[in-house]
Amino acid sequence: AIQMTQSPSSLSASVGDRVTITCRASEGIRNDLCWYQQKPGKAPKLLVYAASSLPSGVPSRFSGSGFGIDFTLTISSLQPEDFATYYCLQDYNYPYTFGQGTKLEIK
Amino acid sequence: QVQLVQSGAEVKKPGASVKVSCKASGYIFTSHLIHWVRQAPGQSLEWMGWINADNGNTKYSQSFQGRVTITRDTSASTAYMELSSLRSEDTAVYFCSRDLVGVHVSWGQGTLVTVSS
């Protein structure tokens, strides 16, 4: 199975900061990568699919980039509602696999 | 609006089976895949498999070694996930999702399954 390694595993930041989370695949996955946000006790919410596409309703401060092995999720200006845990997911081949998560906390 | 409503929490003994349901509304049920994903306490997410709600075709993660079965009832717009030979490590919240990537993703609220003797 493809391993997805996220970094950092946790991150402290302030409202208004620019934040970047990275995800590295153990082998090339083209752009078959998405990013999810999850808040405690809630289902995940899709933020980015196909590495850089945003579903309708996702704020433009979120952006994704990358191809092949290395991917990033950037939040341009943190808002209070962005403090959550973020996961990457590869849907290049089976089994689909998630990263271990990045917990974004308020500094 | 699109809704996926899952069945309630379950407590099972080791070795038993559990069947979780996921009732869809607000869209044409047979037009999308339904995925199942689980999350053990404090852990990341784990993909279990999907069902094509139209033709019933399935794809499973080999991690479950034949213990998982996903079915659907098109007349009830409901998908089901059954996990057998339960062990303590299967204690988790189980989620269904319409699709998993793309513009049509929606999730159920999650179902807590506790495996305890």
What's the pLDDT score for residue B52?
97
User: If you measure CA to CA, which chain B residue comes closest to A93?
Assistant: B61
| Encoded tokens for B27 | 């869209």
- Please give the angle made by the CA atoms of B6, B1 and A60, to the nearest 5 degrees: 105
Count of beta carbons in the 10 Å neighbourhood of residue B86: 21
- The answer to whether residues A90 and A31 touch, using CB atoms and an 8 Å cutoff, is no
Nearest to B44 among A34, A94, A101 (CB): A101
- The answer to whether residues B81 and B20 touch, using CB atoms and an 8 Å cutoff, is yes
First to last CA, chain A: 36
Average pLDDT, chain B: 97
DSSP-derived letter for residue A9 is S
- The answer to whether residues A89 and B100 touch, using CB atoms and an 8 Å cutoff, is yes
- The answer to whether residues A97 and B47 touch, using CB atoms and an 8 Å cutoff, is yes
pLDDT, tens digit (0-9, with 9 covering 90-100), for B77-89 = 999 999 999 999 9
Find where tokens 């895949």 sit. Answer: B33
Are A34 and B101 in contact (CB < 8 Å)?
yes
User: Given pLDDT bands bounded at 50, 70 and 90, which one contains residue A86?
Assistant: very high
User: Given pLDDT bands bounded at 50, 70 and 90, which one contains residue B95?
Assistant: very high
Nearest to B107 among A43, A91, A98 (CB): A43
User: Given pLDDT bands bounded at 50, 70 and 90, which one contains residue B54?
Assistant: very high
User: Using CA atoms, how far apart are residues B102 and B70, in angstroms rounded to an integer?
Assistant: 22
B14-22 average pLDDT score? 98
pLDDT, tens digit (0-9, with 9 covering 90-100), for A4-33 = 999 999 999 999 999 999 999 999 999 999
Which of B34, B45, B62 to mutate against chain A (most A CBs within 10 Å)? B45
DSSP-derived letter for residue B55 is T
What's the pLDDT score for residue B8?
98
pLDDT, tens digit (0-9, with 9 covering 90-100), for A24-77 = 999 999 999 999 999 999 999 999 999 999 999 999 999 999 999 999 999 999
Average pLDDT, chain A: 97
User: If you measure CA to CA, which chain A residue comes closest to B108?
Assistant: A43
